Amino acid sequence: MAFSWLMVGAALWAATSALEELPLSDSMRVLLAKIQYLSINTVPPLWFLGALRFGNPERWLTNGIRALVWSVPCLTLVLAWTNESHHLIWTGLTVVQSLNGDLNPIFGHGPMFYVAVSWHYVLVFGGAILNIRSTKSLPILYRAQAAACVGVAILPVFANAAYVAGVVPWPGFDLTPVAFGLVGVGAAWSMFRLRLFELGPIARDTLVESMTDGVLVVDPRGRVVDFNARALTLLSIPAQRLANSLLGKPIQELLAEAGVDPPAEPLSPKGFDFRSRSDRPLHLDVQVVPVPRAGADPVGYLLVLRDVTAQRTAEAALVEANLRLHEHLREIEALQAELKEQALRDVLTGLFNRRQFEDVLRRELAEAEAANTPVAIVLLDLDLFKSINDTYGHLTGDALLRQVGRLLTFLCPEGATCCRYGGEEFVLILPRADAASALKFVEQLRKTFRATPFAAGSEQVALTLSGGIASYPEHAAAIDALIERADRALYDAKQLGRDRVVLATPSPSGLPSASAPSAVCA
């Protein structure tokens, strides 16, 4: 905005200077001079304020500074329009003849004129110094911008100094408007060739070269306008290449140059996280920080790049370690379950062992008591199995026991529990089975067992079994008593000649007893 008004003022200055070359009356020349003072007292303050804003956008542009800058130009303008009453600006107007015969008007200057000229020179040189100072901390592109501004701004100063000193080729001819024309040409070249105002300058003071985090600065349209050295290191982009080819380009192109898949909205306040596509492991966390401007949209954005490669690597290692730990825990749990199962199983036959039989029977009796249903247990013993071991050996005997276990498991009804009680003895738990139904099932089991040939090495042998049955609550209510009744019934079966099933019966007094079996199946 300051540059636009500066050029308007320069154009007005040049136009009034051109009109002064026409044959005009003295009163008209004085009027043109007063109009000309509108531009003369506008251009230097605008130049200084523009330079101040370029290098220090928020720190120095206060209302007090603005008032100081405009104080002398405003006073000079008032004195110029009221010069007839005090002659502090012009003391008079004379027309002299130049060497080529042209008549040129020359104003005699009063004391306030030199005060105003001195103040204008202070503003112009002050703006130049500010631009030179700002150039030292700017990247390559801004250095070219500031150098162009300083270079073209010096020309009007020397042209005006020559006019005031009277060392111009023609008396009274002011070269200052011509110099401002060159200023316009230089400014246009800076604007369109170097993108002087297109890139929206952002103060370099907001960037700290010593930061451990990388910083990229972009304008509101997402184009890169600045960076620090750490950003180049993190993105593995040569500094010269970045400054010459990517500065002023969209942030997506810079990220693509670094081998990164850019996000759809890289300027989102949420920021983003990315990983380089290259072989070099690189994880960067990007925080997007708007650069505020009072009462307006952000003047740009800071992209703070933080290398979190070590953190992400540690997190990945931790996740992998956790996965391995969970896998080991699952293996341990499986082993524990296997060990628990093995503790409940007979090693030889794979059937439940005696300890598990007692636990299952205790649970079944509790459920039967609660539901008022019967439970039967059956003790089975292989007849004359010692002779098998003596004849064929213990290895063959063990193989026969495994065959017996598989057959019992196959023949047991659903819900029944088959266990190895010890040696060649087995025990069955038949839930919801009374004495009669248990006797019927076990008798059929005995017949099937007798009719089944068993492999003893290369030979086949026939096996028979004896069984004793006791039922809850008919024969006993307690576990030990129920087992004792079934064991006594099994003993009776053996005494009666083996290969038979005996059912325990209550004693005449009403107490359960297996001493006189009433049901024998053979």
Residue type, 347: V
Show the DSSP H helices in 345-478 as ranges: 354-371, 385-392, 394-411, 435-451
* DSSP assignment letter at 267: T
Give the closest residue to 77 by CA, choosing from 42, 118, 123: 42
* Number of other residues whose CB lies within 10 A of the CB of residue 367: 13
CA-to-CA distance for 464 and 443, rounded, in angstroms? 12
Question: Side by side, which strands form the sheet with 272-275?
Answer: 224-227, 214-218, 296-307, 283-293, 272-275
Q: Given the residues 58, 327, 364, 424, select the one marked as catalytic.
A: 424
364 among known catalytic residues: no
The contacts of residue 224 (CB under 8 Å, 6+ apart) are: 216, 217, 218, 246, 247, 248, 249, 250, 251, 254
Cβ pair 104, 173 in contact under 8 A: yes
Which among 344, 343, 341, 353 is positioned nearest to 419, based on CA atoms?
353
Tally Cβ neighbours within 10 Å of residue 477: 13
Residue with token string 């060990």 = 339
| Cβ–Cβ < 8 Å for 177, 10 | yes
Read off the tokens for 317: 């290692």
Cα dihedral 132, 134, 140, 144 sign: negative
CB 176 within 8 A of CB 199: no
Neighbours of 458 (CB within 10 A): 5
Count the Cβ atoms, other than its own, within 10 Å of residue 213: 18
The contacts of residue 368 (CB under 8 Å, 6+ apart) are 374, 375, 431, 432, 472, 473
Bridge partners for 501 per DSSP: 467, 521
Neighbours of 146 (CB within 10 A): 24
Cα separation values, 409 from 37, 139, 204, 350, 466, Å? 118, 88, 87, 10, 17
Reading phi first (left if > 0) and then psi (alpha if -120 to 50, else beta), residue 155 is in alpha
Which bin fits 415, alpha (ψ -120 to 50), beta or left (φ > 0)?
left
**What is the signed CA dihedral for 242, 245, 251, 252, rounded to 10 degrees?**
-110
Say which amino acid occupies 321.
A
Q: 480: number of CA atoms within 13 Å, CB side?
A: 0
Q: Which amino acids are annotated catalytic?
A: 424
